[in-house]
Amino acid sequence: MQKTNWHAKHEASLSFGDRIADSVANGMGSWRFIIWQSIIVLAWMFLNIVGWMRHWDVYPFILLNLIFSTQAAYAAPIIMMSQNRQNERDREQALNDYQTNTEAKLEIEALQLHLNKLETEKLDKIMEMLLEMKQSR
């Protein structure tokens, strides 16, 4: 029987939508995304300013602004879903850590009691040996 940890249980509980939201949040929160988006925006602006063939979005780039607004309208709730799930996972981990610490505390207390008992028995044995030595003189 294999024992699963809290992280495996959390991963198993994720739905398809949860996994997509996490992937989108991970992608949009990366330098790779920022760099590629910057390259695309600069190319968009350059091609519309120079406009060898035609300008499809002249300055002040209203269409580009609309695209950014649409992206933000979808990205924000998806990222918030991912953050909420991360908070839930963190709470689950904290609860698991608390339970582990509580169990460890109980084990340490039991060990301390056992060590105290051994120490008392050892001292009693030493006292008994000293009394025997004193009586044998």
**Residue 82 contacts residue 15 (beta carbons within 8 Å):** no
What does the pLDDT average to over 52-58?
A: 78
Domain ranges of the chain: 13-103
Q: Confidence band (pLDDT; 50, 70, 90) for 40?
A: very high
pLDDT at res. 54: 77
The pTM of this model reads 0.62
| Cα distances (angstroms) measured from residue 60 to each of 65, 76, 116 | 9, 24, 80
Position 6 pLDDT exceeds 70: no
Q: Confidence band (pLDDT; 50, 70, 90) for 63?
A: very high
pLDDT at res. 2: 56
Q: Confidence band (pLDDT; 50, 70, 90) for 14?
A: confident
For the beta carbon of residue 89, count every other beta carbon within 10 angstroms.
16
Residue burial 41-64, b: 16+ Cβ < 10 Å; e: rest = eeebeeebeeeeeeeebeeebeee
Position 1 pLDDT exceeds 60: no
pLDDT at res. 137: 77
User: Mean pLDDT, the chain, as a whole number?
Assistant: 89
What does the pLDDT average to over 20-45?
A: 92
Measure the CA dihedral 57/62/66/72, to 10°: 110
Q: What pLDDT, in 10s, does the model give residues 104-120?
A: 999 999 999 999 999 99
Tokens describing residue 132:
């025997």
CA atoms within 13 A on the CB side of 95: 9
